[in-house]
Chains A and B, each alone.
Chain A
């Protein structure tokens, strides 16, 4: 079983703590939604969990081993990471983009081995991109590009998938699709950690909520018990009203300051 744990991680930049003694232990099968206001340190936490950013103090370990001691290629095989608004700089085909997810195991030169071709086909199918496989990625719409990037992350079948704002800029249909795919991936026994701003979607799909504000943990636990009006107030400084449960849970919020109210 995959176990990824941040242990009292502090990240400081220019004397300011972006993350302040944050601990998070997660295992395969979980879908952790990291929530928090802009500048709370969500992206920093995800980058640290992915082993792409070295904590100032504290450490992150995978199955008990410090990420800093795991060779970057080994780590690349076990976890995939997608930053905010991932882009591709050259107009290569969707298929080639997805193949880049296999970089750690690609031969240095030459053609793709047949086994890899099959995995790419599966990833394209899983993300509903089969009819786009030879289209240039630069001509895809935002939703399609997000799917292509997800396919690129999933193609290596990583144990851990870390995604920074996977539904930012997506319309409701595509946002739902993306959340469904992430939840399904977690259900298949993998660990998914994603930062998410849409609290309703987080409430419906994530199995666990991890809340950050100003670099500190404000809440952590199973979605149903953790995502409460109090947590939302402490984290975002807004009044929340949470109704329904499980699949139909709904998070509504309004300003906690009377002066902000629309007339």
Chain B
């Protein structure tokens, strides 16, 4: 087996184990024997309900969202050839957040469970269309600048919604949502995002070969027959679908997409295509672990997942910058 294959197999094993733990861990620790027994005996049991209706969808969502964040981060770092790139770069996350915030602002989110995710997805798609239209024709740099501009616009929209919030509760609700969480998510949200995550993830997953060629720069990649426009379309809309849908149900979760590829490179090397699968698995594992941690760490109110990943991710970002500074001539 190749080194990448071994690493991926190991990650998959860790994911399986962590997923088991996540089904048992929480405010109520469920003894494995009890869960196993209840699962096979007739009649509704509390333990079975907690596992299948609360913790399983939450774990599945954590794995899906973490996986697309890791994958998208690896693809974006490959496209931009910049180790600081992350899924929020194209304005997709900010667009999704704005979409969801608008439904909260108008009170729609409280009336329909799917309103916020649906609007979030629309926001992500609108943001990616705008980024793509603005950055069209130019190279990677133009695309990044377009993403920054769209992110700025969406952030301004969110600030406006907070500013004009009709009452403190609406503002509070928006803030809470923005912090990102997997709490109280159910199969409804999983089913809602699954198709988008699958399609978007597939679009991102097929970019490997083009990303490898792009490590030689845009001109050489084109000379090798790589269609850069196709690569940009796959990257922008794959991220819009996968990360947009994720952000739409979980709120903003930072740093997983930035960190996952970096954690994998020492093991699988720097060739972009070889980082994709391990980064996907690492993203899934990281987010699942982070979610378990937020459930177990208790000081006062529940620690929000997005806040937790940011708290852990920012020092990593510092370390990355320091390392880059050392590597610079």
Interface set of A (CB-CB < 8 Å, partner B): 47, 50, 52, 71-77, 79-83, 86-93, 96-97, 100-101, 103-104, 106, 108-109, 111, 152
Q: Which residue of B lies closest to A84 (CB)?
A: B219
Given A88-B215, A90-B271, verify A76-B224 contact (CB < 8 Å). yes
Query: In the complex, given contacts A89-B215, A103-B209, what are 16 additional A-B residue pairs having Cβ atoms less than 8 angstroms apart?
Result: A47-B219, A50-B223, A52-B222, A52-B223, A72-B226, A74-B225, A76-B223, A76-B224, A77-B225, A79-B223, A89-B81, A89-B217, A90-B215, A104-B225, A108-B208, A109-B209
Of A81, A88, A89, A92, the contact of B223 (CB 8 Å cutoff): A81
- With a cutoff of 8 Å between Cβ atoms, the chain A residues found around residue B227 in the complex are 72
- With a cutoff of 8 Å between Cβ atoms, the chain B residues found around residue A106 in the complex are 209
Is B52 part of the contact surface with A, judged by Cβ < 8 Å? no
Secondary structure of the A contact surface, majority rule: mixed
Q: Measured between alpha carbons, how far is A77 from B224 in the docked complex, in Å?
A: 8
| CB pair A100 B212 closer than 8 Å | yes
| CB pair A86 B223 closer than 8 Å | no
| CB pair A90 B81 closer than 8 Å | yes
- With a cutoff of 8 Å between Cβ atoms, the chain B residues found around residue A72 in the complex are 222, 225-227
A selection of 28 A-B contacts at a CB cut-off of 8 Å is: A50-B223, A52-B223, A71-B225, A72-B222, A72-B225, A72-B227, A76-B224, A77-B225, A81-B220, A83-B219, A86-B216, A87-B217, A88-B215, A89-B215, A90-B215, A92-B215, A92-B269, A92-B270, A92-B271, A96-B269, A100-B215, A100-B224, A101-B224, A103-B213, A103-B226, A104-B224, A106-B209, A109-B273
Is B171 part of the contact surface with A, judged by Cβ < 8 Å? no
Of A73, A96, A104, the contact of B271 (CB 8 Å cutoff): A96
- With a cutoff of 8 Å between Cβ atoms, the chain A residues found around residue B238 in the complex are none
- With a cutoff of 8 Å between Cβ atoms, the chain A residues found around residue B87 in the complex are none
| CB pair A90 B270 closer than 8 Å | yes
- With a cutoff of 8 Å between Cβ atoms, the chain A residues found around residue B223 in the complex are 50, 52, 76, 79-81
- Size category of the B interface is 20 to 34
Given A83-B220, A111-B2, verify A103-B81 contact (CB < 8 Å). no
| CB pair A100 B213 closer than 8 Å | yes
Of A81, A97, A104, A109, the contact of B208 (CB 8 Å cutoff): A109
Q: Mark B172-215, 1 if CB is under 8 A from A, else 0.
A: 00000000000000000000000000000000001011001101
Q: Mark B246-275, 1 if CB is under 8 A from A, else 0.
A: 000000000000000000000001111100
| CB pair B219 A52 closer than 8 Å | yes
- With a cutoff of 8 Å between Cβ atoms, the chain A residues found around residue B216 in the complex are 86-89, 97, 100, 152
- With a cutoff of 8 Å between Cβ atoms, the chain A residues found around residue B270 in the complex are 90-92
- With a cutoff of 8 Å between Cβ atoms, the chain A residues found around residue B222 in the complex are 52, 72
Q: Measured between alpha carbons, how far is A58 from B226 in the docked complex, in Å?
A: 25
Q: Measured between alpha carbons, how far is A255 from B7 in the docked complex, in Å?
A: 63
- With a cutoff of 8 Å between Cβ atoms, the chain B residues found around residue A82 in the complex are 220
- With a cutoff of 8 Å between Cβ atoms, the chain A residues found around residue B212 in the complex are 100, 103
Q: Which residue of A lies closest to B219 (CB)?
A: A83
Q: Which residue of B lies closest to A111 (CB)?
A: B2
Q: Measured between alpha carbons, how far is A50 from B215 in the docked complex, in Å?
A: 20
| CB pair A86 B220 closer than 8 Å | yes
- With a cutoff of 8 Å between Cβ atoms, the chain A residues found around residue B213 in the complex are 100, 103
